[in-house]
């Protein structure tokens, strides 16, 4: 088997997997509604009548939001563990700083966004609109 035959087989397998995935999107109902995704796609100047592509964008957006939420939760848990550890080891005169719940949530989101790298800029632009 030569290199071209292997390359054609790999390409065929990739195309087959992509076709199967796109077909599965036709029956999938994403968490983010199609109408919302279509609105923001149209607002950005992109229009496509294929619902599978709209759902692909919805799945990507859902993954993005999920990653940020999971990261924020991890930061929150880490800070809570630090506060508990500080309370146990601190002396009577030195009390750990107690942040309000809202401030902790915003701080966790801020840290999550800072860990997302280039995706942070996308989220900020979407949030500003």
* Residue 106 lies in domain: 3-128
pLDDT tens per residue, range 82-102: 876 666 666 555 555 555 556
pLDDT tens per residue, range 59-72: 999 999 999 999 99
Nearest-angstrom CA–CA distance, 65 and 68: 5
> With pLDDT > 70 as the criterion, what percentage of the chain qualifies?
59
Q: If we measure between CA atoms, which residue out of 70, 73, 68 comes closest to residue 122?
A: 68
Q: Give the DSSP letter string of 42-94.
A: HHTT-----HHHHHHHHHHHHHHHHHHHHHHHHHHHHHHHHHHHHHHHS-TT-
Q: What is the count of structural domains for the chain? A: 1
- Residue 105, both tokens: 């949530």
């Amino acid at each position: 088997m030569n290199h071209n035959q292997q390359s054609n087989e790999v390409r065929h397998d990739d195309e087959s997997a992509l076709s199967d995935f796109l077909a599965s999107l036709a029956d999938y109902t994403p968490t983010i509604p199609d109408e919302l995704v279509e609105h923001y796609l149209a607002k950005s100047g992109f229009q496509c009548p294929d619902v599978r592509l709209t759902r692909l964008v919805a799945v990507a957006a859902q993954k993005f939001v999920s990653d940020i939420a999971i990261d924020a939760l991890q930061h929150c848990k880490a800070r809570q563990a630090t506060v508990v550890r500080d309370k146990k080891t601190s002396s009577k005169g030195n009390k750990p700083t107690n942040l309000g719940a809202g401030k902790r949530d915003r701080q966790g989101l801020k840290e999550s966004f800072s860990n997302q790298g280039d995706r942070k800029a996308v989220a900020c632009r979407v949030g500003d609109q």
